[in-house]
A and B are shown apart, each in its own frame.
Chain A
Amino acid sequence: ETGVTQSPTHLIKTRGQQVTLRCSSQSGHNTVSWYQQALGQGPQFIFQYYREEENGRGNFPPRFSGLQFPNYSSELNVNALELDDSALYLCASSRGGAGTQETQYFGPGTRLLVL
Chain B
Amino acid sequence: AQSVTQLGSHVSVSEGALVLLRCNYSSSVPPYLFWYVQYPNQGLQLLLKYTSAATLVKGINGFEAEFKKSETSFHLTKPSAHMSDAAEYFCAVSDRGSQGNLIFGKGTKLSVKP
A window 22-62: CB within 8 A of B:
31, 33, 35, 40-45, 48, 50, 55-56, 58
Which of B11-19, B60-68, B91-99 binds A? B91-99
Residues of A within 8 A of B (CB): 4, 31, 33, 35, 40-45, 48, 50, 55-56, 58, 90, 92, 94, 96, 98-109
Residues of B within 8 A of A (CB): 4, 32, 36, 41-46, 49, 51, 90, 92, 94, 96-107
**Apart from A4-B43, A56-B100, what 16 extra A-B contacts exist at CB < 8 Å?**
A31-B100, A35-B102, A40-B107, A41-B106, A41-B107, A42-B104, A42-B105, A43-B102, A44-B104, A45-B101, A56-B98, A96-B100, A98-B100, A99-B98, A108-B42, A108-B43
